């Protein structure tokens, strides 16, 4: 279990698979996968960069549970894991 102390507001942490080639291109491909998945279920979201390689933070207006499940269960090439934060 992760313990995070942050001043940022976010609902889900998304981790990408590590790759050997250009990191920026791989992260952009992962972000495109996130956008594709979430656009298909009509949820408003905002993707934030993080200070960690291969990790982004996602903030939702509502219904982060449905989005987290969708991100965790949809087969992708770049998304490794998605963790929903519970407070």
pLDDT tens, 47-58? 988 888 888 999
SS3 content of the chain, % helix, strand, coil (to 5): 30, 25, 45
Domain ranges of the chain: 12-80
Note the pLDDT of residue 3: 53
CATH 3.30.70 fits 12-80, yes or no: yes
**Looking at the predicted structure, is the pLDDT value of residue 23 above 90?**
no
Q: What is the pTM of this model?
A: 0.78
Q: How far is CA 82 from CA 9, 21, 22, in A?
A: 16, 22, 22
The pair phi, psi for residue 73, each rounded to 5°, is -105, -15
- The span from the CA of 3 to the CA of 39, in Å, is 29
Note the pLDDT of residue 35: 93
H or E element that contains 46: strand 45-49
């Amino acid at each position: 279990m992760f313990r995070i102390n942050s001043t940022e507001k976010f609902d889900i942490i998304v981790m990408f698979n590590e790759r050997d080639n250009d990191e920026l291109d791989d992260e952009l491909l992962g972000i495109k996968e996130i956008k594709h998945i979430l656009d298909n279920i009509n949820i408003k979201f905002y993707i934030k960069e993080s200070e960690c390689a291969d990790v982004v933070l996602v903030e939702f207006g509502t219904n982060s549970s449905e989005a987290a499940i969708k991100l965790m269960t949809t087969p992708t090439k770049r998304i490794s894991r998605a963790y929903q934060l519970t407070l």
